[in-house]
């Protein structure tokens, strides 16, 4: 788990930048996770599961587009959604 790896590398003396490069994540994420207690991190993970997403209202439509056009890119989906708004 990233959280544990960050804390292990910090205790081994690695800098935030070195940890970020080693784990291939942003330095800001290293700082944020490094400042969290295990309880804070658990609450954070739970909040991610319960949070609604911007695209939730379009989920079924996007899935149907992807089934019909499997090579569809994110940019094309964005364009189609933008056209629907007007």
Q: Which residues 6+ apart lie within 8 Å of 86 measured at CB?
A: none
Domains of the chain are 2-50 (1.10.10), 56-85 (no CATH)
Whether the Cβ atoms of residue 7 and residue 34 lie closer than 8 Å to each other: yes
Whether the Cβ atoms of residue 60 and residue 68 lie closer than 8 Å to each other: no
Give residue 62's pLDDT: 94
Give residue 71's pLDDT: 95
Average pLDDT of the chain is: 93
> Distance (Å, rounded) from C-alpha 59 to C-alpha 6?
34
pLDDT digits over 13-30, tens only?
999 999 999 999 999 999
Q: Please work out, in degrees rounded to the nearest 5, the angle formed at the alpha carbon of residue 40 by the alpha carbons of 15 and 33.
A: 20
Give residue 86's pLDDT: 62
């Amino acid at each position: 788990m990233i959280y544990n790896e960050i804390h292990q590398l910090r205790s081994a003396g690695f800098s935030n930048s070195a940890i970020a490069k080693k784990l291939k994540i942003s330095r800001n994420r290293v700082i944020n996770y490094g400042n969290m207690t295990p309880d804070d991190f658990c609450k954070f993970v739970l909040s991610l599961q319960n949070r609604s997403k911007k695209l939730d209202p379009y989920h079924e439509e996007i899935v149907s587009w992807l089934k019909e056009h499997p090579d569809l890119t994110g940019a094309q989906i964005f364009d189609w959604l933008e056209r629907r708004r007007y």
